[in-house]
Amino acid sequence: MSHYFENDQNLKSELRELSYKYNSSFFKFNSDNGVFSKNKIDYGSKLLLETYLNEANVNVRVLDVGCGYGLIGIVIGVVTDSYVDMVDVNRRAVHLANMNIKKYKEFKGQAFISDAYENVNGLYDVIITNPPIRVGKNKVLEILEGAFDHLNDNGSLYFVIRKDQGALSIKKILESTKVVDTINRDKGYFIFRAKKK
């Protein structure tokens, strides 16, 4: 059984298109077998994205970790006129994200392969992630805690976790070294914003 976070070059490609609307902006994304939430935009991703957009950080440098086909990073880039890099360990996800980037001429940034921050250089104002819970808590904490090595001093980490996937225990772990605010919650999903203390 193949999970969305594995690289499986033998998995048949069956491209499909997902639609998304934010205010008056319409988006279309190519999706495929072997990527997270391939048939339908994930509710947690949508809640994270729209909560972030409500805070209206415009023209900043953003990193989307575990970008999948590119929903979060591409919408942020287009709507907030920000520079956005996107990383994922899944080759097919990065391929799709780059395919989707090309649809938006105004988008500034790139998608590239990286296991967490392995191939990430430079500093960002914002790191945003719907983390790969199924890979395990250690990798999730590597992504969340590691974000602060790639954020400016005033930078913020935004992330979503479901209550039944350990949202509150992960918040507590991060709170030992960071300020973590719950900025939205709905249908069991918690949206957190973390900053350096």
Ligand X SMILES: C[S@@+](CC[C@H](N)C(=O)[O-])C[C@H]1O[C@@H](n2cnc3c(N)ncnc32)[C@H](O)[C@@H]1O
CA–CA distance, 175 with 163 (Å, rounded to integer): 17
CA torsion 115-116-121-127 (nearest 10°) is: 150
The least CB distance from residue 197 to ligand X, in Å, is 26
Q: Which of 139, 150, 171, 193 binds ligand X (CB under 6 A)?
A: 139
Q: Tell me if 132 contacts ligand X by CB under 6 A.
A: yes
Q: Tell me if 93 contacts ligand X by CB under 6 A.
A: yes
Instruction: Retrieve residue 162's tokens.
Output: 């479901």
Q: Which of 47, 72, 127, 161 binds ligand X (CB under 6 A)?
A: 72
Nearer to ligand X, 119 or 177 (CB): 119
Nearer to ligand X, 115 or 181 (CB): 115
Query: CA 19 → CA 40, 71, 94, 187, distances in Å?
Result: 9, 10, 19, 22
Q: Tell me if 115 contacts ligand X by CB under 6 A.
A: yes
Q: Tell me if 101 contacts ligand X by CB under 6 A.
A: no
Asked if residues 96 and 74 have their Cβ atoms less than 8 Å apart, the reply is no
Nearer to ligand X, 93 or 180 (CB): 93
How many Cα atoms within 13 Å fall on the side-chain side of residue 171?
Answer: 19
Q: Please name the helix (run of DSSP H) or strand (run of DSSP E) that holds residue 95, with its range, or none.
A: helix 91-101
The least CB distance from residue 136 to ligand X, in Å, is 9
Per-residue interface string for the shown chain with ligand X, residues 25-64, x marking contact by CB under 6 A: -----------xx----x--x-------------------
Sequence letter at residue 40:
K
Nearer to ligand X, 72 or 101 (CB): 72
Query: CA 146 → CA 23, 107, 139, distances in Å?
Result: 33, 26, 10
Q: Tell me if 90 contacts ligand X by CB under 6 A.
A: yes
Asked if residues 32 and 4 have their Cβ atoms less than 8 Å apart, the reply is no
Q: Look at strands 16-22 and 25-31 and give their pairing.
A: antiparallel
User: Stretches 53-61, 132-140, 176-184, 188-196: which one binds ligand X (CB under 6 A)?
Assistant: 132-140
Residues that bind ligand X (CB under 6 A): 4-5, 36-37, 42, 45, 65-68, 71-72, 87-90, 93, 115-116, 130, 132, 135, 139
